[in-house]
Amino acid sequence: GQAPMSQGVWCALGLFASTFLSAILRNIFTFEVSKVSLSARAAVISAIYRKALRVSGTTLARFTLGEVVNFMSTDTDRLVNFFVSFHEVWSLPFQFAITLYLLYLQVGVAFLGGLAL
């Protein structure tokens, strides 16, 4: 037989609520990671600047102004990008495992055919 209309409505409401909650939590996560990244960037740039002020003139002469600026911009950007990528390292395998399990629940062992590609 057919499922009652209320079951479809509850499924639709559940999908809407989970998508809405996901969007809110993703924005909060992005904001918090941005705050930590900005603090780390400021700390690293300050450390490089302090080090540049402390070293002797002969040691500093080995680096061009462009190299010092590169340390303070490009290299710190690489460090800051790590904060965003770090959570992907643990969350992607977790998401993949959940997805495979849910696929197994739907189609059984046939999901293994899709993994062979």
Please say whether the beta carbons of 61 and 101 come within 8 A: no
* CB 83 within 8 Å of CB 33: yes
d(C-alpha 107, C-alpha 114), whole Å: 11
pLDDT in tens, 60-117: 788 888 887 887 888 888 888 888 788 888 889 999 999 999 999 999 988 888 787 6
> Around Cβ 5, how many Cβ atoms within 10 Å?
8
The per-residue pLDDT for range 19-37, each reduced to its tens digit, is: 999 999 999 999 999 999 9
Which pLDDT belongs to residue 117? Answer: 60
CB-based contact 75:40 (threshold 8 Å): no
Q: Has residue 41 got a pLDDT over 70?
A: yes
